[in-house]
Structure 1
Amino acid sequence: MPANVHADTVTPSIYEATITQSKQSTGKVTFKNEGSTPIVISPKTSAYDPKTLQLISDEKKLFLVLDKETYTVQPNDSLILNYEIKPPSNLAPGTYFNLIILQKISSTDATVQKNQLGTVDTLSQLVTIHILEDQTTFPLQIKSDFAQISFEIIEPGVPFLKPMSIKYIYQNNTNYVLQPQGEIQMFDTKSSYSPEYRQINVTGTKLYPGDTIEETVEIKKWHFSDILFGRKVVGRFYNGIDQSTIIKEATQNSYIAYLAVPLAVLILVIAFTRSILADRKKTKD
């Protein structure tokens, strides 16, 4: 019967590193026995797909190297496991995932009681690496055109009555797992006031290769200068791995035309009212 290791902790639960193809790195995971009896554990590694929550049997995607022996951890004691991050030379630039899974060893027959290998074990460390092409310049970057982004004003709004709506679509163009970050700034075309800011992807959604995120952002605040000068909207988009930026802009012309119709109606009402009053005055005379 599969069993988990109980009454203990693993820290950190997630480790992330960015390296170039020809480089190696190191990491560590700390296991603490919070129970009252000794625990014997055996670590193993596996490639992993966090999108499907499945372990991958392809050894070509294994990049972790650690001693796979058994360890006895006494109550309230900790074990630090050091490991190497050595990606195979044939791994293309991109994002890859490995798990370090801690398995419990039966004290009676010295056999491994395996965890449920189809899901993320709470006593596992997820190791994420972003492999970059070898570069001679810094800072290191994945690619400048990391996403296909559309950015537009879908609702210009009505000054002080209806908010402006901006829509963006962000598609991951890379072999990396991206976490879109950035902001949308709005100001009048003369920059006569401080910009209004809205953060994108506040839920922290991650995009796997080819995935898309779509979001509509509203700007409810208005300034009188918007009516005269119009509005400019700037989107700054990041990938969550490096500092590469994609900038998109959209402009809404002045809102004077939006006021023309109600202004014309107001003038007609005033003229009509004056005409009626003038006719009444003539009738009385």
Structure 2
Amino acid sequence: MKLIKIFFTLIFLYTLLGIPYSFANSLYPAINEVKLPQGQRAIAMVTFENKEERDTEILLSVYEYNPKTDEIIKDSRNNFLKVDTDTFVVKAKEKKEIPYEIVPVSNLQLGTYFNILVLTEVSSTKDVYIDKGISQLVVLHVVDPYGEVQGVTTSDYSVRIDVVQKGIPFLTPVELRYTIVNNSKYVITPGGRLEIFNKRSNYKPEYIYVNQEKTRLYPGEKIEKKVSVKNWNFSDLFSERIVIGNISSGLDSSVKTVQTTINSYVYEILGVLTIGIVTILLIKSLKEDTKKKSKTSS
């Protein structure tokens, strides 16, 4: 079973990366992303190109795919593709459009689901060669049929910003940490930015963009990353800075706004001044004591 998973994972990666196969056949598109309301179905096409000098007999198969673990699951309840179970022949040097149906089961929850459509070559002896298959990834977003705007949308993600290190003014930067948790059933690609400014000063805000790597978050996953605020202004010593995060899920244009503050350094400055004054007084007192002892000795 593990060997089959490895085979299909390699096949899938070869398809996406465009690495040529030994028999040079291909299909496109490599990925088909579809949005469907609950209870609806759709027809899709995949094009198979036979680049060989001979006719090729092809069999269609459907598998559930887990992109987090690269697991391939056969006969899954989450298979939403319906294909023709008969084999078909693609003539040498020709292309063929192959239809299939996307049919989510009625009780499939709102969310993102993955199937792999595998086109496998059948030999003249009717044996199926798994290592001679190529595949298309079908990504299905099941959306709310009663939404005002039909499409993929979710607010089921949480955002948090923490001040990890306040830094030393003009010497070391402030360190922030943003955390984004995907509580939805969809795969999201969070984006947005942090805006850092001093509410009592008119200097330009500093902007830090989040998730620039475009990391996808699967249901239940989170991104946690530290970022640095490197710019300093004299006013930051005496008044707090505001950090505002405007973060979207990447599925729609709506954003979540969160806020935190970077406290001023008034207490630190007072602490340093207090220590300095106490130190000066102690030194002065010690000097006076030393002088008194010297006079007494003489």
- Paired residues of 1:141 and 1:243 also in contact (CA < 8 A): no
Report Cα offsets for 1:187-209 as digits up to 9, x if no partner: 22247233322222233333222
Cα drift, residue 104 of structure 1 = 0.9
2:88 corresponds to which of 67, 70, 80 = 70
Give the number of aligned pairs. 265
Shift of 1:218: 1.1
Distance 1:166 1:261 in 2: 24
| Structure 1 pair 20–67 and aligned structure 2 pair: CA distance change class (3 A) | same
Q: Distance in 2 between matches of 1:241 and 1:266?
A: 55
| SS, match of residue 212 in structure 2 | coil
Query: Are 1:147 and 2:157 counterparts?
Result: yes
TM-score (norm. length: structure 1): 0.78
Q: Which amino acid aligns with 1:210?
A: G
Query: What secondary structure, in the 3-state scheme, does the structure 2 residue paired with 1:126 have?
Result: strand
Matches of 2:78 and 2:36 in 1, distance apart?
15
Pairwise mapping of residues 64-213 of structure 1 onto structure 2 (< 5 A)?
64-68=81-85, 69-75=87-93, 77-106=94-123, 108-115=124-131, 123-138=134-149, 140=151, 142-144=153-155, 146-190=156-200, 192-213=202-223
CA distance in 2, matches of 1:172, 1:84: 30
Task: Give the corresponding residue for 1:30.
Answer: 47
One-letter amino acid matched to 1:88: V
- The 1-side partners of 2:195 and 2:48 are apart by 45
In the aligned structure 2, how far is the partner of 1:182 from the partner of 1:202?
9
Match of 2:218, SS state, is coil
Distance in 1 between the 2:206 and 2:52 partners? 52
Residue in structure 2 matching 1:57, options 74, 91, 96: 74
Moved more, 162-171 or 254-263: 254-263
What's the CA shift for 1:72?
A: 1.3
TM value normalised by structure 2: 0.75
Secondary structure at the aligned position of 1:22 is classed as coil
**Structure 2 residue aligned with 1:19:** 36
Quote the Cα distance in structure 2 between the aligned partners of 1:26 and 1:163: 54
2-side partners of 1:204 and 1:10: how far apart? 26
Is this contact kept in 1: 2:144–2:150, CA < 8 A?
no
Question: Take 2:115 and 2:253, find their aligned partners in 1: how far apart are those partners?
Answer: 25
> Any stretches of 5+ residues in structure 1 without a counterpart?
273-285
**Counterpart in 2 of 1:243?**
253
Contact 2:47 2:98 in 1 (8 A): yes
**Secondary structure, aligned partner of 1:226:** helix
**Residue correspondence of structure 1 range 195-234 to structure 2 within 5 A:** 195-234=205-244
Contact map agreement 1:19 1:131 (CA 8 A) in 2 = yes
The structure-2 alpha-carbon separation of the partners of 1:267 and 1:213, relative to structure 1 and needing over 3 Å to count, comes to same
More displaced 10-residue stretch of structure 1: 232-241 or 93-102: 232-241
Alpha-carbon separation, structure 2, partners of 1:195 and 1:34 = 57
Matching residue of 2:27:
10
- Name the CA distance, whole Å, in 2 between partners of 1:25 and 1:165: 49
Superposition pairs for residues 29-48 of structure 1, below 5 Å?
A: 29-48=46-65
One-letter amino acid of the structure 1 residue matched with residue 66 of structure 2? D
State the alpha-carbon separation in 2 of the partners of residues 30 and 270 from structure 1: 84
Counterpart of 2:16 in structure 1 is none
Cα 1:270–1:54 change in 2 (3 A) is closer
Secondary structure of 2:77's counterpart equals helix
Aligned match of 1:280? none
Partner-residue secondary structure (3-state), 2:177:
strand
Structure with higher helix content: 2
Q: 2:40 and 2:192 mapped to 1: Cα distance? A: 30
